[in-house]
Amino acid sequence: MDSALSIDSQVQKLEDKVKAASLPLDLLDKINTMLTILKISLKSGTGTIVNYEGISNYINWVLSLPFEKETQDNLDLTKTKQILDKNHYGLENVKNTILEYLSALILGMQNSSSKEVRAPVICLVGLAGTGKTTLAISIAEALGRKFERIPFGGMGDSLALRGQSRVFSDAEPGLIIKKLVSAQSKNPVILLDELDRVSEAARADIMGVLIELLDPEQNKSFTDHYIDYPFNLSHVLFVATVNNTTNISTAVLDRLEVIQMPSYTDEEKETIAKDYLFPKIKQETGISEIQLTIDKAIWPMIIRPLGYDSGTRGLERTLETMARRLSRKIVEGKLTKNADFVINAQNIKEFLPS
C-alpha cells in the first residue's frame, strides 16, 4: 500500500514537472497520454514499478532536452581571431580558413530571422598532436557556445549515436541527445572526434547516421530511437576531426569542408613549449613561474628525444615528466622548495623520460 502511495505521489510530481515545461504540443500530448495510461494501470492494479520507472526515465530525458534554450552568439570576428591566436601558435593558413568559414556563418546569422543557417561542417585533418581538438574548443569559445565532444574511436554500433528503442529494458538515448542535454543548449559546438577510427564492422551504419547528422535537409528532424521524436539539429555547429580521410565514406566527405593541419617545425615546437605548454604544466604541478627554467641550449634534446613527431603531444608528455620529477625532488627534500632550479646539459638526463 505504501509503495502504491509512493508511486502515486511520484506520478503527481512528474505531472507537475510536465505542466511547468515548455514542450512541442504534439510531444506534450504524447507524454500526457503516457501519464494517463500509467495512472489507470496503477489504479487497476495492473501497473508495476517497472512501468513507472520506464515512463519516468523517458519523461525526465524529454524534459531535459533544450527545445527552447540556446546561447547568444558572439559575432565579433576580431575577438574570434584574438582567441584563436591566444590558444594556438602559428597555423596561420588554418586559422585564416576557419575565420573565413565563421565569417560566412556570422553574416548568415545576421541576415537570417530563423537562425537556421547552413553552417559549413569543418573537418580538421591531421596527425595526433597537431591541435585539432583544441581548435574545435577555440571555435566554441570564440562563438560563445557550449562545447561537447563525441569520441568515435572504437565506436562499434550506430545505436551509440542514435539510441535504442524503449522496448528494450536497458534502453537509453544516443550520444547526440546526451550531449544536447549536457550542453543545455540547442546550438552547441559538437566535436565529432576521430571519425576515421570507428570499428570496421560498424563503419557503414555509422557513416549512414553521419550523413543524416551533417545534411542540413535531414538534421532538422533528427530522431533518436529512444526519444522517438524529431529534434531540430540545424542550430548545432558540428566540427569533425580525422587523422586521414581514407576510411571516411564519399557521401560523408561531400558534407565536410576539409582543412589540412600541418606538422610543426622544431622552431615552432620550441615556441609552443615555452609560451603555451610549459607555463601551464608548471602551474598544474604546483611549481612557481620562476622556480623552474630550462637552459635554451638543451631545447633540441627535449623536442627530439625519440626522433620526429609531427605534433606536440610527445613534447607535452616530456615536459610533464620533467616537471613531476622536479616536484618529487622538492617533496623528498632533495631540493629547497623556494630555490630557483635550472635544467641544463649537466642534469638533463635526470629529468628526461627514459
Give the DSSP per-residue string, 99-111.
HHHHHHHHHHHHT
- Mean pLDDT, the chain, rounded, equals 88
Which of the four pLDDT bands, split at 50, 70 and 90, describes residue 312?
confident
Per-residue pLDDT at 305 exceeds 90: no
Per-residue pLDDT at 227 exceeds 60: yes
Cell readout for 91 is: 597555423
| pLDDT at position 88 | 86
Higher pLDDT, 5 or 302: 302
Q: How far apart are CA 75 and CA 142, in angstroms?
A: 9
| pLDDT at position 120 | 72
DSSP conformational letter for 237: E
How far is C-alpha 22 from the chain's CA centre? 27
With vertex at residue 304, the alpha carbon angle to CA 303 and CA 310, rounded to the nearest 5 degrees, is: 85
Q: What is the pLDDT of residues 14-29, one digit of tens each?
A: 889 999 998 999 999 9
Fold of the 266-351 domain: Helicase, Ruva Protein; domain 3 (1.10.8)
| pLDDT at position 47 | 59
Per-residue pLDDT at 212 exceeds 80: yes
Which of the four pLDDT bands, split at 50, 70 and 90, describes residue 46?
low
Specify the pairing of strand 230-231 against strand 222-223.
antiparallel
Per-residue pLDDT at 171 exceeds 90: yes
Report the CATH number of the 77-260 domain.
3.40.50.300
- Among 206-210, 310-314, 335-339, whose mean pLDDT is lowest? 335-339
| pLDDT at position 180 | 98
- Among 4-13, 133-142, 175-184, 279-288, whose mean pLDDT is lowest? 4-13
pTM: 0.83
Residue 184 exposure: Cα atoms within 13 Å on the Cβ side: 1
Q: What is the pLDDT of residues 103-130, one digit of tens each?
A: 888 887 777 655 555 667 899 999 888 8
